[in-house]
Amino acid sequence: MDNRRGEREQATEDRRRELLEAADRVVLRDGPGASMNAIAAEAGITKPILYRHFGDKGGLYRALAVRHTDALLAALRTALDAPTGRRERVEATLDTYLAAIEARPQVYRFLMHPADGGAQDAPEPPAAESGERDFEVGRHSAPLLRRLGEELAQVIADRIDFGPGGAVIARAWGHGIVGMMHAAGDWWLHERPCTRAELVQSLADLLWGRLAAAADKAGGPGL
């Protein structure tokens, strides 16, 4: 019985992964305009089957957000742990984030600007289709940014000795850095006023004040 249950759960997990990969392909093509109809067609299934796995477009969005956030966090940790000087690690971390949104701008826009894509000009869908448009800006992207902020805060707390009140300072820095990267990266991706390397240097200069003087935490991996 347990073996059969385990096989069913593995089959469900594998199917869910296949559907997320299909959704990724549609998002890469359509960006924020990606629809459940298009994703179902890409996966070769009907939309009710897609709803069975994710509930609605919000559920699919959250699953994609976890998928891409996990990958981004792993890349950021790798940059932070590189065997180089602190300034070089800071620059590498900033560049890793900017390179990620530059490489897959449609995915970035789907996750961060889900209301973009012309839905406001389309005819009002039937009530049953309301899941297609429950994408107010900030409703879904804010939790993603908070998660990135908390994760980065923990990395900073593990590496920097801020003294008394260090935990709060690390969280302030984590959320502040994520907010800075998001706002600056959003502006840069839209306007391209400078090279990625130039933006990395400017943001690293902004961060470098107290970070240059802070001591590594005793026994920690350092930053």
> On the CB side of 74, how many CA atoms lie within 13 Å of its CA?
6
- Confidence at residue 133, expressed as pLDDT on a 0 to 100 scale: 45
Question: Has residue 169 been placed in a domain?
Answer: yes
Paired residues of 158 in beta bridges: none
Question: How many structural domains compose the chain?
Answer: 1
Instruction: With residue 216 as reference, give the H or E element that holds it.
Output: strand 215-216
Which tokens is 114 given?
Answer: 């889900």
- The CATH number for 150's domain is 1.10.357
| 33 close to 118: Cβ distance less than 8 angstroms | yes
Residue 221's pLDDT band (cuts 50, 70, 90): low
Place of tokens 């200069």: 205
Q: What's the confidence (pLDDT) of residue 114?
A: 63
* Cα-based torsion angle of the residue sequence 189, 194, 198, 200 in order, rounded to the nearest 10 degrees: -10
Q: Could you tell me if residue 31 is inside a domain?
A: no
pLDDT tens-digit readout, 168-180: 999 999 999 999 9
The answer to whether position 202 is within a domain reads yes
Which is higher by pLDDT, 107 or 216?
107
Instruction: Kindly state whether residue 198 falls inside one of the protein's structural domains.
Output: yes
Whole-angstrom distance, CA of residue 77 vs CA of residue 148 = 11
Kindly report, residue by residue over 25-83, the tens digit of the pLDDT: 998 888 888 888 999 999 999 999 888 888 888 888 888 888 888 899 899 889 988 88
Residue 56 lies in a domain: no
Range of the domain at 141: 65-216
Non-local (6+) Cβ contacts of 45 within 8 A are: 19
pLDDT (0 to 100) of residue 161: 84
The tens digit of pLDDT for each residue in 82-137 reads: 888 889 989 999 999 999 999 999 888 888 876 554 333 333 344 334 444 444 44
Does 129 fall in a domain? yes
181: in domain: yes
Q: Is residue 22 part of a domain?
A: no
Ramachandran quadrant class, 55 (left: phi over 0; alpha: psi -120 to 50; beta: rest): left
